Structures are given as structure tokens and as C-alpha cells.
Amino acid sequence: MKRPQDTNSITGQVSRKRGAVLFGTAMALVLSACTTPQVAIPEPGIAVPLDWVETDPAPVSVDITEYWLLLDDPLLTELVEAAIANNLDIAQSAARLKQSRASLVQARAQWFPNIGASGSANRDLGDNNPGDTFFSLGADAGWELDLFGQIGNNVASAQADLAAAGYNLADLQRAIVGQVAISTINARSIAQQLEIARSTLEYQEDNLEIARWRNQAGLVSSLDVEQARTQRAQTAASIPALESSLASTANAISTLIGEPPGRVLAEFQDAKPVPTPVNLAGFEAPAEVLSRRPDVRAAEANLISSTARVGVARAQLLPLVRLSGNIGTNALGIDNLFDILTAGVGGTISQLIFDAGRTQAQIDSAKAAAEASLAAWEQSILGALEDVESAAVDQRSANQRITINEEALDAANNSALLARSQYQAGLTDFRTLLSAENALLSSRNQLVSTQADRASAFVRLTQALGGGWRPADFPDASLSTPATDRTQP
């Protein structure tokens, strides 16, 4: 004959089964609630072209991620790397990225219960009190169920904000690198023009001496002397202006790389040629270039964030469910503190009935912000396409002008040599020599300026194609943004 089961044992089994069911139900709610919802964003109202207008269809044959290395200028490379490491604008953007990362942690924390504990010890010191000490301990927990996606959309928004901050940091680095590269190219050009002015001044001083000698010999009038003086003074006046321009450019570079002025300017005292870039014949398809542009990716992430905020605002119109629980104990002595435990669980549900249109206004405001983010995303796409097309034209134009200016410089140099020798022999007047040497000076400066334009066009073009940053260096930018569902506007 079977022995009857103890009633307390049966009750305990039932309690454990109910606890298991409740625990399983709670975990199911947690897992369902802690899911980032899908964010539906509209398609851009811009038809991205399948190919470029101003370029060949062949793909780029070189890696433009660190395009400054392709300029083969050690100083330029050093300055760019210093800017990446020490630029203070980049440091500020990196700090904002940390803020976004912390905001995401805060948003995700809303998925989990809030748990608190308290304790106290009191002793009555009155005349009629035996001096017993009263102890109490307690703990409480509260949890908001994310049944309608308010927390999930808030997390989606924070996650997109983090991705946008990462892309903004990458885009800032891209811009700073371009500034340093173009400023270094300009400094090289100014240093070259300064050297041209100084060497030209030496020739003009010789011409002035020759004009004075021929005037003293009665071979020419004093008009030649005055014209020679004028030419020499004009060239001499250009030297301080070039020195000032070189100092300003070098000091701007110093600020970009996060150091006081002085050292960078000294680096440009020894004039070296303007760097010659490699030629980029064809580019990847526009859609692939847009995917590499951090500014476009940041604008898309901002759109995802703004769209998720619409979901946060809408959830305020739906019921809000909160669970709460507490456990506590109290006793006159610490030895029997845990003899008696009290506990309670509860739940509340709240529903907005009337708020004079405040919540609906918040929804309308969030929708308007999402519309603005969509327009900003479309604008970034158009701007990126414009950058590539315009920079491609600039590069082709600069290459053509280089060839023409090299021919012009060769002709001007020959003309100046002939005019100088003929003037010394008395076969031509000084005006002819003056015109030939002015043309030579102009041709030399124009060629250097065009070389700088070609190198600067290369920098702008590689920037436009998404060069200047490496996704692996910006893990937050590579962080998967919330799943998106593209819908038509």
C-alpha cells in the first residue's frame, strides 16, 4: 500500500511548477521585448545614375584609402598622419562619439528591471525603552514591458545615432586630411614661386646694371634704366607678399596638426617641387562610391534615427504596462532578522486618455524631423555625385593645362634668352627684353600654379570617391544600424 504524500510536499511541487511557468513566461516577455524593431525608412527620391558622365567606365586601379601616399611627398605624409593623431576638431568629434556610445548603453538599460535595496537600524533611547534595536531589510524591483516598441524604438534611435557619430568622425577625418594635403600642396607652390621670384630678381639686377652701363656709354637713353628699375622693384615687392602667404599657409597647417606655429614653416624654407599625382582614369559605379562616403552614410543613419523617434512618440498613445515586486523583513534583533519575510508582486497598466494634443504634437514633430532627415540624405547623395563629377573635370582640365603651360614655358624661356643676348649686343631695345622676361616669369609661375591645381584636383577627387578613411578604424561607424525596411515616400 502506497504511503500518502505529504500535503506540504504537494503544495511545494505545485508552487515550483507555477514558478517555472511564471519564470518561462517572464523570460519569453523579456526576449520579445528586448528586440530592436525594424525601422521602415523611405527610398530616396533621387535616381542614382548607373555610371558617371565625366569619367571612363573602367574601375580605379589603385587603392585610394590612403591617397596621400600616392603623392610621394614624405612631408605631406608626415603632416597628414600628424593631423589624424592630433587634430583637435577630430578629438572633439571623438568625444561626441563616446557620448553617443554611452547614450546607447542607457537606452538598452531600459529593457531590464530596476532593482534597489534598503536597510535600516533604529534604537529608541527613551527612559521607558529597554534599549532594543529594530532592524529592517528590503528590496524592490520594477520593470516596464516594451509591448508596443517604445523602448525598442528608442534603442534603435540611439544605435543609429551612434553609427551616425562614427560616420561623422570618419567624415571629419576625411575633410581634415584633405585640408592638410591641399594646404601642403599650396605651400609647396608658394615656396616654388618664392624661389622663382628670387632667381628672377637676380636676372633683373643684372639687366639694371647692363642698362646703366649702356646709358653711361651713351648707347641708350635713361628710359631703359628707369624701366629696368621698375621691373626689378615690382619683382622685389612680390617677395614679401609670397613670404607672408607661405607663413599663413604653414601656420594653418600647424593648427590642423595640433601644434604651435614655427616648425612647419621651417620645413618649407627649402623649396621642393609640387607633388605629381597618379592619374585616375575610371571609378567605381556611383552606388558603390556612395556606400563609401561617410557623409552619405551618416545622413542615412540620421534618417533611421529620426524615423525610430516617430515610433517612440507613437507608442505613448498605447497602453503602458509595468511590473513591480518587493521583499522585506524586520525584527528586534539581528539573530532573528530572517525569521519572517514579507513579499509582494503587482502590475499596473496605464492608458493615455487626454493630454490636449501634446502627444500628437510630439508625433507630428517627429515626423517633420524625419522628413528633414530624408531631405538631408537626398542632399548628401546629390552633393557626393556633384563632387565626383566636378573633381573629375578639374583633374582632366589640369592635365591639359599642364601640357600647354610646359610648351609656353619652353617658348618663353627661349624668347628671354634671345632677347637678353640681343639687348647686350645692342640689336634690340629694352622694351623687348622687358616683355620677354615678364612673359618668362608669368609662364614659370603659371606652370607651378597649374601643377598645384592638378595635385589639389587629385586630392578632391579621391576625397569625393570616399578616400581618406578606413572603415576598420571606425568600428562604431561599421556597427550594424537597426534593420531597415525601405518604403516608398
Q: How far does Cα 485 stand from its chain's mean position?
A: 26
Predicted confidence (pLDDT) per residue in 455-471, tens digit = 999 999 999 999 998 88
The pLDDT of residue 215? 82
The pLDDT of residue 486? 53
The pLDDT of residue 457? 93
Per-residue confidence band for 487, with pLDDT thresholds at 50, 70 and 90: low
Per-residue confidence band for 375, with pLDDT thresholds at 50, 70 and 90: very high
Q: Give the DSSP per-residue string, 293-327.
A: -HHHHHHHHHHHHHHHHHHHHHHTTS-EEEEEEEE
- Cα dihedral 385→390→393→394 (10° resolution): -140
Q: Give the DSSP per-residue string, 217-239.
A: TTSS-HHHHHHHHHHHHHHHHHH
Highest mean pLDDT pick, 70-79, 115-124, 230-239, 277-286: 70-79
The pLDDT of residue 485? 54
The pLDDT of residue 34? 57
The pLDDT of residue 41? 77
CA distance 146 to 318: 11
Is the pLDDT at 220 greater than 80? The verdict is no
CA distance 78 to 80: 6
Average pLDDT over residues 250-264: 95
Phi-psi region of 357 (alpha: psi -120 to 50; beta: other; left: phi over 0): left
Is the pLDDT at 446 greater than 90? The verdict is yes
CA distance 389 to 317: 48
Predicted confidence (pLDDT) per residue in 95-116, tens digit = 999 999 999 889 988 888 889 9
CA distance 162 to 483: 15
Residue 451 Cα distances to 79, 257, 403, 409, 460, angstroms: 20, 24, 10, 13, 14
Average pLDDT over residues 393-397: 90
Which strands, in side-by-side order, build the sheet including 342-350?
A: 114-123, 133-145, 320-331, 342-350
CA distance 263 to 288: 40
Taking all residues of the chain, what is their mean pLDDT, rounded to a whole number? 84
The pLDDT of residue 14? 36
The pLDDT of residue 222? 84
Predicted confidence (pLDDT) per residue in 398-423, tens digit = 999 999 999 999 999 999 899 888 87
**Alpha-carbon torsion (178, 179, 183, 184), positive or negative:** negative
Per-residue confidence band for 4, with pLDDT thresholds at 50, 70 and 90: very low
Q: Amino acid identity of 74? A: P
Q: How far does Cα 283 stand from its chain's mean position?
A: 22
Altogether, the residues listed in the chain come to a count of: 489
User: Per the structure block, which three cell numbers stand in for 424?
Assistant: 647686350
Average pLDDT over residues 40-69: 77
Predicted confidence (pLDDT) per residue in 20-43, tens digit = 433 344 444 444 455 666 777 777
Predicted confidence (pLDDT) per residue in 331-347, tens digit = 776 777 777 788 888 88
Highest mean pLDDT pick, 196-205, 444-453, 473-482: 444-453
Predicted confidence (pLDDT) per residue in 131-163, tens digit = 677 778 888 988 888 888 888 889 999 999 999
C-beta of residue 269 within 8 angstroms of C-beta of residue 250: no
Average pLDDT over residues 169-190: 96
Residue 144 DSSP label: E
- Of 150, 162, 157, 34, whose CA–CA distance to 102 is shortest? 162
CA distance 302 to 380: 12
- Of 257, 311, 224, whose CA–CA distance to 81 is shortest? 257
Predicted confidence (pLDDT) per residue in 296-317, tens digit = 999 999 999 999 999 999 999 9
Question: Cell 515616400 identifies what position?
Answer: 489
What is the number of other CB atoms lying within 10 angstroms of the CB of residue 133? 12
* DSSP three-state, residue 116: strand
Per-residue confidence band for 1, with pLDDT thresholds at 50, 70 and 90: very low
Q: Structural domains in the chain?
A: 42-111+146-317+352-487 (1.20.1600.10)
